[in-house]
Structure 1
Amino acid sequence: MKIFSGNSNPKLARAICDAIGVELGRCTVSAFPDGETFVKIEENVRGEDVFVVQSTSPPTNHNLMEMFIMMDALRRASADRITAVLPFYGYARQDRKDQPRVPITAKLVANLLVASGANRVLTMDLHAQQIQGFFDIPVDHLYAAPVMYNYLKQKGLPNLVVVSPDVGGIKMAYAYAQVLGAELAIVAKRRKSAHEVESMAVIGHVRNKNVLLVDDLTETAGTLTAAATLLRQRGAKQILACVSHAILNQTGIERLKNSCIDELITTDSVCRPVIRGVNITTLSVAGLLGEAIKRIANNLSVNSLFEFRGGRTS
């Protein structure tokens, strides 16, 4: 088994290797003066079981091309099996035709991964679970919930309500509510544009309660901050947000700085600079991904990683 990393999240790749006691594979991933990506695998991979760790976070297109070229290089170097490890799967929000004459880019990315040499995919907290069906190769879909659950249990928040910031996240919120022994509430919203949302109503009781907002990803933080404002107006006390992938741009950072959210809990699935003025707790998923990689390499079940004390994530 050998693990290689692109440039999107080398820190996570090294942490994965440390967690399972293997060395990170040697490779050169650089750019020509005109911006084209150059890859050279610096060690023998003939007949090896190879894992390529690359989050497709911004710059999304560049990181995707790095991964495609790395897998092509590994395939031409006679690697036996190539697993694309995507802690964050980019383009996942473009998973259907919701208006005329638009692409289904999540499916296109799936096709390109296979075309470039992927024999299987390991990913975490997809925005839409049906993306697994876009592949004709095996997909192992992990959840960050066990890592989040351990941290939240240690905090021991009393009188807790788990809130989905939109109707689409009810299933995830229900899973968190079950394992934390908390109540469940929902915020109904209307999206005005790709950058702006309007929270309209709260379904459930949040007055004088501690609130945990749960979502799979945030970028502009519009959904989270609008929901937090409405919840505070409805009498919520402490407001925490739990997000698997925090791909924050400048708009999102400014919104969080001015929001009612007391703490943002996320993972290291994407590489992110230090953000001042926002209380962010970053939990590592390196152990979770490392254990999955080890089990895939040894042809063992990955299913038990979905199970943890107090409940099941799937």
Structure 2
Amino acid sequence: MNFLTNFERGLATKPIVIGGRNGDHIAVELSQARGYELGSVEVKKFPDGETYIRIHADVQGRDVIYVNSLQREPNESIIETLYTLDTLRDLGARRVVAVIPYMSYARQDSRFNPGEAISIHVLAKLFKSISVDHIVTVDMHLHRIADPSSLFGANFHNITGVRELARYLKKNYSFSKTSTVVIGPDEEAEQWAKVMAEELGGLEYGVLEKTRLSPEKVVIEARGVKVEGMDVVIVDDIISTGGTIVEAVKTLRSMGARDFYIAAVHAILVGDALSKLLRLNPRDLVATNTVLSPISRVSIAPAIAEALDKIL
């Protein structure tokens, strides 16, 4: 005889959400927002440095959402993520959805010098070997990746965090078409500048032209962008060393720009990046929590929840 209560039967039909070490904060938010059952995964190291994984949830026949960003120590995060996803499949999960808010190695998407590994292709092959059903990422660099679903072997959903950043800015500040312009610090950032400008009420937007001299040094040129006497919202996908944003602000200030609002999806903040950005004295400096940092004040969970609603 089946003694499950109606509550237990209902719970058993809901997806289970599990967060890795770099994704548990988002998993908890998703559980609270959508009523998903919250599971957990135990991750630790053996004395010899090998990784130990144990799932603390009964996933047999259930839809499982696993959340983990491949950040900070990306190689460790990759091993943790792949081991966990494969274990979920091996334990009989009905569908496995991998939510990777920050996908590392995405910028190494071509062989720029002879003999280089195309790192994102290698990582994609590893994901493909596990056969997850869906992969959800946030503002992943897809510049030279024409078909990510084919490359990763799963239904691929690359969502944006810029709308969440725009909602935060609209809630806390007032912007007008006559006094504010949105700027992407390089040509690739035009896609995010366009979204931000639309979300802030149809502001004008433009981009700067960037020439990278080294991994930490760039030269920024402004062409066809009028910012004199204007407040500027700078938006980008990633702040890593901070070099691009610093040079962008210097260039725009030399052109007569006034106050700056700096927003990014992924705040990697390598080395003294945060200090360099704070010394620019912006009105605000904010990022989403795809990567946890001192400026990660905007939750990406609502955007991920919307994507999961469509998937599940």
Q: Do they superpose with TM above 0.5?
A: yes
- Partners of 2:144 and 2:99 in 1: how far apart? 18
What is the correspondence of 1:32-111 to structure 2 with a 5 Å cutoff? 32-111=46-125
Q: How many residues align?
A: 291
Q: Secondary structure at the match of 2:168?
A: helix
- 8 Å CA contact 2:163–2:196 kept in 1: the answer is no
- 8 Å CA contact 2:16–2:64 kept in 1: the answer is yes
What is the correspondence of 1:287-298 to structure 2 with a 5 Å cutoff? 287-297=302-312
Residues 74-83 or 255-264, more deviating: 255-264
Of the candidates 168, 171, 194, which is equivalent to residue 174 of structure 1? 194
- State, as a whole percentage, how many aligned pairs show the same letter: 31
1:52 Cα deviation after fit: 0.9
Residue 215 (str. 1) matches residue 260 (str. 2): no
Q: Secondary structure at the match of 1:29?
A: strand
- Partners of 2:198 and 2:90 in 1: how far apart? 47
Partner of 1:156: 174
What is the correspondence of 1:176-191 to structure 2 with a 5 Å cutoff? 176-180=196-200, 181-191=202-212
Of the candidates 113, 117, 125, which is equivalent to residue 127 of structure 2? 113
Letter in 2 for 1:88: Y
Partner of 2:139: 125
Higher relative contact order (CA 8 A, sep 6+): 1
Q: Secondary structure at the match of 1:203?
A: coil
Partner of 1:302: none
Letter in 1 for 2:184: S
Q: Secondary structure at the match of 2:287?
A: strand
- Partners of 1:34 and 1:65 in 2: how far apart? 15
Of the candidates 204, 209, 213, which is equivalent to residue 225 of structure 2? 204
Residue 228 (str. 1) matches residue 249 (str. 2): yes
Of the candidates 263, 267, 271, which is equivalent to residue 250 of structure 1? 271
Letter in 1 for 2:214: S
- 8 Å CA contact 1:121–1:138 kept in 2: the answer is yes
> What are the superposed Cα offsets for residues 60-100 of structure 1, whole Å, 9 maximum, x if unpaired?
11011000110121121111221111011111111122232
Q: Calculate the aligned-residue CA RMSD, in Å.
A: 1.8
Q: Secondary structure at the match of 1:198?
A: strand
- 8 Å CA contact 2:182–2:233 kept in 1: the answer is yes
TM-score, length of structure 2 as denominator length = 0.87
Distance 1:257 1:179, change over 3 A: closer
- Partners of 1:150 and 1:44 in 2: how far apart? 37
- Partners of 2:56 and 2:155 in 1: how far apart? 28
Unaligned runs of 5+ in 2: 1-14
Partner of 1:309: none
Residues 237-246 or 122-131, more deviating: 122-131
Letter in 2 for 1:228: V
- Partners of 1:123 and 1:221 in 2: how far apart? 22
Q: Secondary structure at the match of 2:87?
A: helix
Letter in 2 for 1:141: N
Residue 193 (str. 1) matches residue 211 (str. 2): no
- Partners of 1:22 and 1:112 in 2: how far apart? 28
